[in-house]
Amino acid sequence: MQKRKLGKSGLEVSALGLGCMGLSYGYGKAVEKQQAIAVIQSGVDRGVTIFDTAEAYGPFTNEELVGEALAPHREQVVIATKFGFNIDPDGQRRPGLNSRPEHIRQVAGASLKRLKTEVIDLFYQHRVDPDVPIEDVAGAVKDLIQAGKVRHFGLSEAGANTIRRAHAIQPVAAVQSEYSIWTRDPEPEVLPLCEELGIGFVPWSPLGQGFLTGKIDASTKFDSTDFRTFFPRFTEEARNANLALVEVLKQIAQRKNATPAQIALAWLLAQKAWIVPIPGTTKVHRLEENIGSASLELSAEDLDEINTSASKIPIQGERLPESILRMSYR
């Protein structure tokens, strides 16, 4: 697997990471533990070095899974986790966000134990807390870095002004936001700022919650515990309209002897050398398929064709429910 550097932070990782959330949470029932460990360890065996989790995934169960799976490989890998939701130490979720410095310190200590490690490689604020100045958040993480408990600071779904303010207190190694051929929100402001400041960018949901794989259509049924049941972009009507974009990916894929998922990931990798997508999966063969995108070359003509075709397809439905969207790009 090729390596990439997340901006000027010095943090070098595999060109593709593994988003681990879906193994425990979010997309239906949790995967059986040994199968989930096998997927994570298969990633290590195939050269994946960055693994993404969060205290909120479960809560806590995904961090525990990642910690157990990666314990034998700890020196080879980069573990990214997140703080910022209002979750009690016993796992009870409370409304809203909580990035008060004392809470950040508490979360860091608990995450270190669950991840079976002495240091968190990349510690993201999961969502920007409007009640806590970002300077205080960055300062709290800076203290954790100086104490040797965290190596790098990250922000998730943050707006450009917030990123700039945070970076002035503690350099931001990576920004993680949703980004894919059907979700281009970071392009106008966040990506140019990352380039200016030397910050890496980590697209979550680079396969559009699975839609860009071509395995989902208007008739697909989701488990009642699957987030997509409530996502506007996944109503039957929206899926039916948005299949036009998948057809574009399929046409390119057929010509390149690839899959739609590989084209979607290769398109992202071609955008900037400091972009590291973190597709998730619950199956080893899908992991292998995703990794194959890192060696797939898209020509300038291929990229122009994808961009031109995609620009003519209006994506139907917001990417997230309104209550979650309000937390983004603050």
Domain count, the chain: 1
The pLDDT of residue 198:
98
Does some domain include residue 215?
no
Residue 315 lies in a domain: no
The per-residue pLDDT for range 46-103, each reduced to its tens digit, is: 999 999 999 999 999 999 999 999 999 999 999 999 999 999 999 999 999 999 999 9
Catalytic residue among 27, 57, 124, 179: 57
Structural domain containing residue 200: 3-208+271-296
Q: Mean of the per-residue pLDDT values for the chain?
A: 98
Residue 95's Cβ-count burial label (10 Å; 0-12, 13-18, 19+) is exposed
Strands 3-5 and 12-14: antiparallel
Residue 176 has a pLDDT of 98
Tell me the pLDDT tens digit for each residue of 94-120: 999 999 999 999 999 999 999 999 999
Predicted confidence at residue 192, as pLDDT, reads 98
Q: Maximum CA pair distance of the chain? A: 54
What confidence tier does 301 reach under pLDDT thresholds 50, 70, 90? Answer: very high
Is 49 within a domain?
yes
Active site residue 179: no
Give the confidence band of 314 by pLDDT, cuts at 50, 70, 90: very high
> Does residue 264 sit within a domain?
no
pLDDT at position 1: 94
Claim: this prediction has a pTM higher than 0.95:
yes
Residue 327 forms part of a structural domain: no
Q: Is residue 64 part of a domain?
A: yes
What is the domain-level CATH number for residue 22? Answer: 3.20.20.100
User: Looking at the domain assignment, is residue 242 inside a domain?
Assistant: no
d(CA 52, CA 133): 25
